[in-house]
Chains A and B, each alone.
Chain A
Amino acid sequence: MRNGNLSSVDRGIRICVGLLMLAAAWLGLVEGVWKAAFEIFGWVPLVTGLIGWCPFYALLGIRTGRPVR
C-alpha cells in the first residue's frame, strides 16, 4: 500500500511470524484447533507485513514507519 504505517523491522517480524504460523500448521507441528487457528490467522501478519499496512494500527492511529508524501 502507498501509505504504509509499518516500519521495516515491524514488517520483517510480521512476515517471519506469519510464515512460522503457516509452516507450523502445514508441517503438522500443531494439531487440532491450533492447526486451524494457525492456518487462518497466519495469513494476517504475513499479508500485513508484505503490504506494509496494518488495519489495527490504522484504526488506532499508530504508525511505526515514517510517513510518505
Chain B
Amino acid sequence: MTAARPLASGTMTLGRLKWITVLAALVFILLLEIVRRVLYPYLPSLPGMILMSAAVFVGCIFFFAALFSVIERTQSTLERRNRELLTLHEAALGIHGDLALETVLQSVVDRACDLVGTRYGALSVINDQHRIESFITSGISPDTRTRIGPPPVGHGLLGVVLNEGQRLRLADLGRDPRSVGFPSNHPPMRSLLAVPVLCKSPFRGNLYLAEKAAGAEFTPDDEESLVRFATTAALAIDNAHLHMRLNDLAVAEERLRIAHEMHDGLAQVLAYVNTKAQAVKVFLKNGRPDEATQQLDQLAAAAREVYADVRESIIGLRSAAVPGRTIADALQDYVSTWQAHAGVECDLRIEGAPRLTPNAQLQALRIVQESLTNIRKHANATRASLTIEQSASTLRITIEDNGSGFTPGELGRSEFPRFGLSTMRERAETIGGRFQLDSVPGSGTRISVELPTPAGPDIQMPESIQERP
C-alpha cells in the first residue's frame, strides 16, 4: 500500500539510528584505545594530555554530529511527509465534495496541479477502443486550446501511459525518442509526470502533469504523491459514477410508477368510459333516452373523477420539479395547491430541517401525495394535518384527517391497492422506513411514516433526479 511509505521510511531511519548509536560508541572507544597506544610515551607530559583531550573532543564531535544529522534528517523527512499528506488530504476533500462527474474530473486535474506544483495538467478519458475520448486540461486557456487544434488521440508519450499503463517521469520530454506529434502551437513543456487512474467504474484514464514550478524536475516523491492522489481521485470518480447511476435508477423507477398509475387508473377509467358509451348507444338505439341519460351522467362523473386525479398527479409531479430546493419547500408548495384544489383545509407543520437522501425525498413526497389524494377522494374530511418531525436519526411524517375513517382490518384485499396503501407501505420499506395506519370509523384516519435519515445538513434535490411533467 503506497500510503504506508512515509511512516515506514521514518520508522526505518529511527531503527537505524538505534544501531548507529551503539556502533558509533564502540568505534569511538576503539579509536580512543588506538590513540592512547600512539600517545602512550607522551601521556605523562602536558602535550600528551592535551593531545589525548583533543582526540576525545574530536571523537565526541564526530559522534554527536553524526547523531544530530540523522535525527534532523529524519525529522525533516517526517515533516515533509506530513505536509504532503495534509496537502493530499485537502485535495481529496476538495474532489470528494463534488458529485457531478464532469466537475469531479476537472477538479481532479486542478487539484493535482496544486498538489505537485505544476503549470499544466491534463486527464485523458479512455474509451473502449483504447483511444483518448476526451482530454480535460488545467492551466491552458480556451484560446490556447483552440490554437493547439484537435485533442490528442494517444500517440507519442501519451500512448506510453495509455497502452502500457505505466508511470512516466521525464526531465525533458523533448529528448525522449518516444515523444512525437507535438503540435506547433502547443505551449512549451519540458518536465512530464504521468500516472494511470485505476477506477472500478467504467471510467479509465491517465493523469498528466507538465512544467513543474521554477523549471525544476519531478522527483520520486512527486511521483509517489501523484500516485496516492490518483488512488483517491479514482474513488471520487467511482463515487460520482455511482451517484449518476443512482439518479438514473430513481428516475427510471419513478417513470415505471407513473406507467403503473396510468395503467391502473387512467386506462381502467377509459375502459369504463368505452363500456358506458356502448351502453348509451344501445339505449338510444332502442328508444330508451332516460336510461341513456343515466349512463351519460355516470360517464360525466367518471370523467370528472379522472380529471381530478390527473390534475392532482400533475401538481404532485410539478411540486418536485424545481431544481435545488428541499423537500420542505416542495411540500409547502404542494399542500397550498392541494388545499385550493381539494377544498380541504390542511395544516402543515415542519419541525427541524428534514434530512433525506434524494431517493428518500422522492418516496416521502409520493407517500404524502398519495395520502392527501385518499383524503380528498375517500375521507369526506373538512380538515387535515401534515406534520414533519426531524429527530437525531429519523424523520417522522404524520398525516391525519377528521373524516369518516374506516376499519383497516375489514378493508378487502381488492380495495387495498385502490387506496394505494400497499404502495405507500412498499415505498416506505424500500428506503428502510416503517409505515403505520390507524383508523376508526367516524374518527378519521392517521398515517405515520418513520424514515431513517443520514447525518448532516439538509440535502437539496439534485436537478438530475427531478421529474419532468
A→B interface (CB under 8 Å): 3, 32-33, 36-37, 39-41, 44, 53, 55-56, 58-59, 69
Contact = CB atoms under 8 A, between A and B. Distances in A.
Nearest to A44: B58
Contacts of B66: 55, 58
Given A41-B58, A44-B58, A36 B38 contact: yes
B48 A33 contact: yes
The interface size bin for chain B is 20 to 34
Interface string B10-53: 00000000000000000000000001001100100101100100
Q: What is the predominant secondary structure among interface residues of chain B facing chain A?
A: helix
Contact of A56 (B47, B65, B68): B65
Contact of B73 (A3, A39, A44): A3
B191 to A, nearest CB: 15
B61 interface: yes
A3 B48 contact: no
A36 to B, nearest CB: 5
B153 interface: no
A36 B64 contact: no
Given A3-B73, A55-B65, 4 more contacts: A33-B42, A37-B51, A41-B58, A59-B68
Contacts of B69: 3, 53, 58
Contacts of A56: 61, 65
24 contacts: A33-B42, A33-B47, A33-B48, A33-B51, A36-B39, A36-B48, A36-B51, A39-B38, A40-B35, A40-B38, A40-B39, A41-B54, A44-B58, A53-B69, A55-B61, A55-B66, A56-B61, A56-B65, A58-B66, A58-B68, A59-B61, A59-B64, A59-B65, A69-B219
Nearest to B35: A40
Q: What is the predominant secondary structure among interface residues of chain A facing chain B?
A: helix
Closest 10 CB pairs of A and B: A55-B65, A58-B65, A33-B47, A55-B62, A55-B61, A59-B65, A33-B42, A58-B69, A36-B38, A36-B39
Interface in B309-331: none
B55 interface: yes
A56 B65 CA distance: 7
B68 A33 contact: no
Nearest to B45: A33
A59 B55 CA distance: 17
B239 to A, nearest CB: 36
A41 to B, nearest CB: 7
B78 to A, nearest CB: 16
Interface in B235-255: none
Contacts of A36: 38-39, 42, 48, 51
A33 B68 CA distance: 33
Contacts of B65: 55-56, 58-59
A50 to B, nearest CB: 14
A27 B219 CA distance: 49
A20 B203 CA distance: 69
Interface string B277-318: 000000000000000000000000000000000000000000
A53 B69 CA distance: 10
Nearest to B58: A44
A54 B5 CA distance: 30
A3 B69 CA distance: 9
A40 B55 contact: yes
Q: Which of A36, A39, A56 has the most chain B CB atoms inside 10 A of its CB?
A: A36
B319 to A, nearest CB: 62
A44 B35 CA distance: 13
A58 B38 CA distance: 28
A53 B38 CA distance: 26
A32 to B, nearest CB: 8
A6 to B, nearest CB: 13
A53 B68 CA distance: 13
Q: Which of A53, A58, A59, A69 has the most chain B CB atoms inside 10 A of its CB?
A: A58
A53 B62 CA distance: 10
Nearest to A2: B73
A30 B64 CA distance: 32
Nearest to A34: B47
Nearest to B40: A36
Contacts of B38: 36, 39-40
Contacts of A41: 54-55, 58
Contacts of B68: 58-59
B73 A40 contact: no
A43 B48 CA distance: 18
A33 B39 CA distance: 8
Contacts of A44: 58
A69 B216 CA distance: 12
A44 B57 CA distance: 12
Nearest to A59: B65
Contacts of B61: 55-56, 59
Nearest to B38: A36
